[in-house]
Structure 1
Amino acid sequence: MILDKKPLIGLGGVIVAAMSAEFNDQVGSAAMIDVRGALGIGHDPGIWIESLYLSGMVIGMALSPCWSAAVTLKRMVLFAIALNCVATALLPLAPNEACFYALRAVEGFAHGLTIPLLMTTALKYLTPNIRLWGLACYALTATFFPNLSAAVSALWTDVVGWQFVFFEAIPLCTIAALCVWYGMPQDPPHYERLRQYDWPGTLLVIVGLGALTTMLQHGSRLDWFQSKFICTLALISAIALPLLVVNECRQTIPLFRPQLLKRRNFAYGVFTLFCFVIVAMSSSTVPSEYLADVQGFRPMQIWTVMAEVAALQLIFLPLVVHLLDIEWIDARWINGLGLLCLITACIGSSQLDSTWSREQFYLWQAVSGFGQACVVLSLLMMATNALVPQEGPFASSLVNMPRGLSEVIGACLLTLMARFRGQLHATRLLESAGTHRFSTVQANGGLDPQHLPPLLADGAQRGADSLAGFAHAIDVQRAVMVVSDDYLLLAGVATLIFVVLLVLPERTHPPRIALLKK
């Protein structure tokens, strides 16, 4: 039971720490072109900046809960905050690329340590009657902070200065550390767990997940299995990851407990959160790439599209909490409603064309925002109701590690779509222009209705840059068609989740009822 408000202050500190960690990821990614330009880092070397960050994040998510159980939750949170603050603040001061890469990897590792601790803190200090509000706090990391980051990125890159992409961590981490230090109770440590620490599992996590995330990040650039480097990484991950699962099944105190996946609701929660992170790119990455590539918008012109989703979470999450707290309402209904909203938003957005601007996205972003709140909160309730408190650290790793990995897989999927579907669409557009060359190139119609065709009736260029403009129109149409395909792909992933929803999870009650029965 909560006897005073101090643990709530501590929880607030962990929420601020999680916000800082998410900003390091999302704001850093959005501003990375400006950062690379300021530091003189090229495109291919710049891929390592994100690759090392994401590898560190996934590894940290796997290790954090086990460490917190040994050294106490409060000390682990303070360590993660300090590591985040120091690594992030030093990044703009890095003297060379190698130092920048190392600090970025440490920053990602600190991010990975922080996010699972928010779930652990909420589940530990909030009683069953307000447990749903704790889950809503964790849901912010998947729905609110990623969409808010576009506005923060626009502020730093277009108004203040790129250095503040990293300096923003200083005040946020300071506030978080003070709240945690004051509000979170200090539990006795359990150093005896270190004698049974899973060193083989830790090594396999670092090697296996590090190889897998690096392969996914660099595969497209290196032409996948035409590269010996990618083949080596694939072989390492194919060997290390099965060994990791076998090792965790045999350990007395594992990093995570695969046996928990035998519980239907928990397995559904892990699977759905993994897929949801990919589907949620439909409200952030996909529209921002369209507006940047097709309309040529800067972050300051894009941020309102994502900020709408973030702002609506402050309305929708409390609403969904109240709905899920009603005994006769089945969480599966709310989850299904959210998935249908996501599918509808993706299909609606897939109808875009080259004339779309921010205004055309607002309706579908609102539908997506409601769907995200319904999906995340209901799946978290179903998953956590299947656990007892002693299983919290093992479950937290099992939830957050796939979540971190799905961010890498989602980016990889969009890259593959841009490459293969983009090539297909470009080829078909050029073939169509060649087949109907008079109507599209020389007559008064043209491929792009906003511009005159590039050639006159006798085959001469209409102007000096006519063919260059026509090539740009082809490229714009290709980009539009790729984005439409992206939305349909993400709608397909959401449909897959809906199919699993129909067969896998079981009925569960609100925590104030389900947990008190236990």
Structure 2
Amino acid sequence: MTAETQPEVKHRGLITLSIMLATIMQVLDTTIANVALPSMTGDLGASQDTINWVLTSYIVAAAIMTPVTGWLADRVGKRELFLVSIVGFVISSMACGLAWSLPSMVGFRLLQGVFGAAIVPLSQTFLLDINPREKAGQAMALWGAGIMVGPIIGPTLGGWLTESYNWRWVFFINLPIGIVALLGCTAWLPRAARRIRRFDFFGFAMLSLGIGALQLMLDRGAEVDWFSAFEIWIYLFLTLTGFWVFVIHILGADKPFLEPRMFADRNFATGLVFIFVIGIILLASLALLPPMLSRIYGYPVITTGLVMAPRGVGTMISMLIVGRLVRRVDARVLVTMGLALTAASLHLMTGFTPQMDDSLIIWSGVIQGLGLGLVFVPLSTVAFATIDPMFRADATSLFSLVRNIGSSIGISMVTVMLTRNTQINHAELSTFITPYNPMVGQVSPEALQGSAAALSQLDGMVNIQALMISYIDDFQLMMIITLAAMPLALLLRKPDAGAAPVAVHAD
């Protein structure tokens, strides 16, 4: 369908607002509950080990159900699936707020993950459907703002709700947002053509096995000391088996669960690699900063949120600007600039010290927000610019899945490095705490006399320094990953300006 014959979609602004409310509601839930876990422990009769299943159940359920979004959208309709997802997500959120025990909470969180899985990929699909190609960049800027700013404000909002009310309001907050989103989508969201296709149960089962085992391995690894536990080896075997059999299956099946032809599109394939890297950098840094601000600088939850808020502001400013630039500037240039800014911010973060004020934390966050925004919008635009429209629902669900897997791997990676490097750094720094080191006498003369309190204070100082060095090591690793991803921008290609834009199926 050409640009001249493409029908105008009515109420595009209201549709966008309704879709984004649902998207932000779902994205917030990936991080908003984290800070409420300590408060849940006593009320639900859980231990410090078992309470993590509140997070794990949601992550695993969402990860398994995300790839099936495309098939469900074709089978029941994108609009209908989106409405059902919103209703189910809100009801299961209310059930989580009313949970009376750990098993009930885990069950309701599983349902929340099942219903929430389709919201993000379908929201991206709808925004691409209702906007002409020349406005795709602005649409992806709005969508990206919700996707990337949501996890930033989630811990702050969750901390404020938990401190001001109680942890149940972390889930109850979804009710008013969900009702407004549902009413808007019901009134204005256009219907889409359905496409009946056979469900590849074996392919879905193998992919689910691989994804589920991988998420369990990443979540449980730190608790059981990774590969020293037989449990992790089982998860690794199931992960490799599931993914390997799935790949072999879709390459030979007549009607596979995911069409291999999608990956022949160079922009989409490169976009998957990029979004994997973005997932690592975005949520890994968000997982590191709040505990760092609390453990080293003693910031309360609210102050931590205020210090990290400028990061979200930088992201939103960047996305609003790049949404217009993406039509005029080569996407490869924007992506490279964004990665360069992100690497520069991580380089600034390697200069953190326990004695500094919060100015460097704020400015490095702003620069990183600007950089990630410059990457996310052109990447989300170009990745889907040349892919066949019939694969769009599958492609957006895969895009979200890869981003979430990158986030899970990034968080696990930096967490493991932080724990192990802290132990190593503490052991190395402790070798300098001897009576023969003149600096020890200058810092704490009482320690040379064997004072238990002074020795404990010295040990605390060593802990802080060891922890700070470990955080810097993590920031340096993420900087290296960012720099290594920059050459991939050369694989992206600019869409042909004369190519037909995507048809809009609306009635």
Counterpart in the other structure of 1:460: 450
Contact kept? 1:334, 1:374, Cα under 8 Å: yes
> What letter is aligned with 1:300?
I
Asked if 1:75 corresponds to 2:80, the answer is yes
Give TM-score scaled by structure 1 length: 0.91
Asked if 1:123 corresponds to 2:142, the answer is no
Which deviates more, 170-179 or 255-264?
255-264
- Which residue of the other structure, out of 320, 323, 327, is the alignment partner of 2:322? 320
> What letter is aligned with 1:278?
I
Give TM-score scaled by structure 2 length: 0.93
CA shift at 1:517, angstroms?
11
Mapping 1:175-324, distance limit 5 Å: 175-190=180-195, 192-193=196-197, 196-281=198-283, 283-324=285-326
Counterpart in the other structure of 1:330: 330
Identity %: 20
Q: Deviations over 1:327-365 (max 9, x none)?
A: xx2111110000000000001011111123433311111
Mapping 1:385-400, distance limit 5 Å: 385-400=385-400
Q: Deviations over 1:76-96 (max 9, x none)?
A: 001111121111111132222
Contact kept? 1:205, 1:244, Cα under 8 Å: yes
CA shift at 1:48, angstroms?
2.0
Q: Deviations over 1:227-284 (max 9, x none)?
A: 2222211111111111112223344444323332233221211000011111113652
> What letter is aligned with 2:57?
L
Counterpart in the other structure of 1:506: 493
Counterpart in the other structure of 1:427: 427
Contact kept? 2:334, 2:375, Cα under 8 Å: yes
> What letter is aligned with 1:245?
V
> What letter is aligned with 2:468?
V
How many residues are treated as equivalent by the alignment? 498
Counterpart in the other structure of 1:349: 349
Residues 98, 357 of structure 1: CA spacing in aligned structure 2 closer, same or farther, 3 A cutoff?
A: farther
> What letter is aligned with 1:276?
I
Contact kept? 1:13, 1:176, Cα under 8 Å: yes
Which deviates more, 48-57 or 173-182?
48-57
> What letter is aligned with 1:358?
D
Which deviates more, 413-422 or 368-377?
413-422
Question: How many angstroms apart in 2 are the aligned matches of 1:34 and 1:514?
Answer: 55
Secondary structure of the residue aligned to 1:27 is coil
Secondary structure of the residue aligned to 1:433 is coil
Secondary structure of the residue aligned to 1:144 is helix
Contact kept? 2:308, 2:362, Cα under 8 Å: no
Residues 393, 6 of structure 1: CA spacing in aligned structure 2 closer, same or farther, 3 A cutoff?
A: same
Q: Deviations over 1:157-178 (max 9, x none)?
A: 2223221111111111111111
Which deviates more, 364-373 or 87-96?
87-96
Question: How many angstroms apart in 2 are the aligned matches of 1:261 and 1:478?
Answer: 44
Counterpart in the other structure of 2:19: 14
Residues 252, 482 of structure 1: CA spacing in aligned structure 2 closer, same or farther, 3 A cutoff?
A: same
Secondary structure of the residue aligned to 1:85 is helix
Residues 2, 362 of structure 1: CA spacing in aligned structure 2 closer, same or farther, 3 A cutoff?
A: farther
Asked if 1:140 corresponds to 2:123, the answer is no
Question: How many angstroms apart in 1 are the aligned matches of 2:118 and 2:58?
Answer: 13
CA shift at 1:305, angstroms?
2.5
> What letter is aligned with 2:493?
E
Mapping 1:464-483, distance limit 5 Å: 465-483=453-471
Counterpart in the other structure of 1:449: none
CA shift at 1:515, angstroms?
4.3
Which deviates more, 65-74 or 151-160?
151-160
Contact kept? 1:18, 1:114, Cα under 8 Å: yes
> What letter is aligned with 1:289?
P
> What letter is aligned with 1:68?
A
Contact kept? 2:284, 2:407, Cα under 8 Å: no
Counterpart in the other structure of 1:64: 69
> What letter is aligned with 1:125?
I
Residues 308, 492 of structure 1: CA spacing in aligned structure 2 closer, same or farther, 3 A cutoff?
A: same
